[in-house]
Structure 1
Amino acid sequence: MKNKLSNMMCLDLFLSSQNEEHYKAIEHHVTASEAITYPLKSFCLYADYFSTKMHNLNRLNDIITVKKFASKFNWNQNLDTIFKNEDFEAIVLTNKKQEIIWVNDGFKEMTGFHKKFALNKRPSFLQGEKTCKKTRDRIKKTIQLNEPFTGTVINYRKDKTPYKCEIKIFPLFSENTTHYIALEKAV
């Protein structure tokens, strides 16, 4: 009985990973009585797998989008180096005036603000009463020096709830700095 249940769990994982064409080719080998007798035990495993897969695809799409901007603006940075080993939820891309020109979908998930709402605003619109002035000053000074910044700041979501946000800002340049990219995550 235990082996049969384990085999069904493995079969379930296998079947859930098949596309429709492959499944149709093998479905006549799976009997309905087996499916009814043994409940789905591996859904959580598959959901975790699917969630990880979607996270990785979204990350890859975000990186591809940033690379399109890099091509358009002739940035000299190796973006793979910037993204390597970085864990982030949101990406905020600003111009030299620090006006937002693009944010990823993770920005809305993290802040509650729609992407279109953020466009042409400065990232400081996320700051508020509990945002540390010293941290704001450090960000400003580091940007003026065209150096990378890493730190944590208190930001505010659309619903006005504060959250700690780890920010890593990198200047992007061709001959001179033209843009900034911020990789952010709630901590």
Structure 2
Amino acid sequence: MKNKLANMMCLDLFLSSQETTDYKTLKKSITPEDSKKLPLVSFDLYNNYFSTKMELLDIKNDINQVKELASKFDWKNNFDTLFNEQNFEAIVITDIHQNIVWVNEGFTKMTGFSKNYALKKTPSFLQGKETSVETKKRIREKIVKNTPFSDIIINYKKDKTPYKCKLKIFPLYNEETTHFIALEKSVASF
């Protein structure tokens, strides 16, 4: 009886995640006897679907928050183009002096540091003994050029675990550059 209820619940969850037209098509083909045949793993289908949807919603919310900041600072960047087809976990916005003014929740997930801890610090607090001096110099030089760029740097999580971080940095401007945005993704741990 327990398995039957679990299977029915999984079927309900799966069906509720379908688009209306798909649901109507599936509903016609499912009979009460079919629920006895469904394995409990059907919940995994829904769970994967739900997780993916939540991640996309988080990204959309992050982009909307960046757009709100853009409105506040009157940035002229085209954020739809900036975020188009970008793959990132963390977003870090710094002022012109490299002080962090905003990070998304993905930053906390990726590094272990809270948003409040990161604010008013420079991203250098993420660096450590394996962070290349040449890479830091190269990044500083690219920032001074005031053009978008990508690079990879070794950073450290709160628990001191090093990881390679792919950075995509863009200047944010109104009449002149006022801030920078970094879209970051962990590409490897050691």
TM band (smaller chain): 0.7 to 0.9
Alpha-carbon distance in 2 for matches of 1:10, 1:119? 45
CA drift of 1:16 comes to 5.7
CA drift of 1:134 comes to 1.1
Could you list the per-position Cα deviations for residues 54-93 of structure 1 after superposition, in whole angstroms to 9, with x for gaps in the alignment?
0100000000000001000111110111100100000000
CA drift of 1:154 comes to 0.2
Matching residue of 1:14: 15
Could you list the per-position Cα deviations for residues 108-157 of structure 1 after superposition, in whole angstroms to 9, with x for gaps in the alignment?
10000000000000011101110111111111011111111201100000
Alpha-carbon distance in 2 for matches of 1:59, 1:92? 13
Give the TM-score normalised by the residue count of structure 2: 0.82
CA drift of 1:39 comes to 4.0
Alpha-carbon distance in 1 for matches of 2:39, 2:99? 53
Alpha-carbon distance in 1 for matches of 2:99, 2:51? 32
Runs of 4+ aligned structure 1 residues displaced above 2 Å come to: 8-12, 15-18, 33-41
Change (3 A) 1:150 1:16: closer
CA drift of 1:44 comes to 1.4
Matching residue of 1:84: 84
Name the Cα RMSD after superposition: 2.4
Matching residue of 2:69: 69
Q: Residues 89 and 184 of structure 1 are in contact (CA less than 8 Å); yes or no, is this contact kept in structure 2?
A: yes
Gaps of 5+ in 1: 1-7, 19-29
Gaps of 5+ in 2: 1-7, 20-30
CA drift of 1:47 comes to 1.1
Query: Aligned letter for 1:61?
Result: N
Give the TM-score normalised by the residue count of structure 1: 0.83
Matching residue of 1:45: 45
Query: Aligned letter for 1:161?
Result: T
Query: Aligned letter for 2:65?
Result: T
Change (3 A) 1:118 1:48: same
